Structure 1
Amino acid sequence: MDSRKSVLHAKLESSRCSTPEAARYRRTPSKTLSRTKQRTQTTGLPPDFPCYAAIKHHATVVEQVLRAAKAAAHRVGIVTLSERPWVFESADKYLPGLDVAELLKELQIPVYYAPEHQHESGSDEEDPKVSMKKAAMAEFLQVGFGHDASSDGSLNVVSIGDSMVEKEAAEATVRSVELSKTQPSLCKTVKLISDPSLKQLTDELQILSSKLQPIIGHPRDLDLHVQSPEDLTAQIATLSGA
Structure 2
Amino acid sequence: MKLKTRIAGFITAATFAAPAVSGSVAGTGGSTEVTQLINMVQLVQSYEQQVQAYVRQGVQVEAELKNLISNPTSLMGDDVGKMINTIGSIWNGGQSIGYNLTQIDRNFARTFKSPQADNFAKMFTSWHQTNTDTLQSALRAIGTQRDQYASSQAALTDLYNRSQSTNGNLDALQTLSQINIRQIQELQSLRELMASQATAATTYMAARSAKDQLQDNVNNEAQNILSQPIPKWQGGTSQQFNKFNLYKTN
Q: Which structure has greater strand proportion?
A: 1
TM range (shorter): under 0.3
Q: Which structure has greater helix proportion?
A: 2
Larger Rg: 2
Q: So what's the TM-score if we normalise by structure 1?
A: 0.24
